[in-house]
Structure 1
Amino acid sequence: MPTPTAPLILFDDDHYMYVLRDQAYAEAWWEEPGEFTHGFDALARPLSMTGVPHAVHLTLTGEAPNEAELRRLVAHHYDRHLRRQTPPEASTLAEFVAALPREGR
């Protein structure tokens, strides 16, 4: 399976979004695999997480992108956690992902 394309967009069990610079950073940064609910790479391909606390691994679950689901989850994150802000309105996926706020810049 190919390597996920950076950045990685992960969602926790509270629907909070984290945009992490690459796979190595995401795996070192994320502590509890049970808190992971959804994830995508920069091409909107879905991710899965395996492992144990403080030792997680992210893998692509397929080659087919799911841009609609990524945009839906981002919008939900903004509605729930960033009420005074609006999600990026970029028409292309690359512009949309580039406009997302990142952790640990």
Structure 2
Amino acid sequence: MTTPTAPLILFDDDHYMYVFEDQASAEAGWEMPDEFTVGFDAPARPLSMTGEPLDVRLALAGEVPEEAELRRLVADHCRGHLRGQVPPQATALADFVAALPREGR
């Protein structure tokens, strides 16, 4: 499999979204692998996480993009955690992903 394409969009067990600039920062910034529920790379391909606490690894779990699922989870995140804020309205996936807030910004 190929390397995930940045940015990486990860969701925890509370359905909170985190967007990391690259794979290294995502792996360094994620502490507990059991808190990961789902993730995607920029083309909306699914990610898997393995490892131990404070030492996680991300990899592509498949090559088929799951754009509709990514958009649904982002909308759920906005409704549940960012009340009053709407997800990006871009129709093109690249523009949608580019508009997501990044960790550390």
TM range (shorter): over 0.9
Q: CA RMSD in A?
A: 0.5
* Residue equivalent to 1:52: 52
Counterpart AA for 1:13: D
Structure 2 stretches lacking a partner, 5+ long: none
Counterpart AA for 1:45: R
TM-score by structure 1 length? Answer: 0.98
Measure, in 2, the Cα distance between the counterparts of 1:49 and 1:23: 11
Query: What percentage of residue pairs aligned between the two structures are identical?
Result: 74
* Residue equivalent to 2:24: 24
Q: How far 1:93 sits from its partner (Å)? A: 0.2
Measure, in 2, the Cα distance between the counterparts of 1:59 and 1:43: 14
Deviations 1:48-91 (A, max 9, x none): 00000000000001110000000000000000000111100100
Moved runs in structure 1, 4+ residues, more than 3 A?
A: none
* Residue equivalent to 1:101: 101
TM-score by structure 2 length? Answer: 0.98
Measure, in 2, the Cα distance between the counterparts of 1:104 and 1:45: 23
* Residue equivalent to 2:79: 79
Measure, in 1, the Cα distance between the counterparts of 2:36 and 2:86: 24
Specify the SS of the correspondent of 1:44. coil
Q: How far 1:104 sits from its partner (Å)? A: 1.6
Q: Report the number of matched residues.
A: 105
Structure 1 stretches lacking a partner, 5+ long: none
Q: How far 1:23 sits from its partner (Å)? A: 0.4
Specify the SS of the correspondent of 1:87. coil
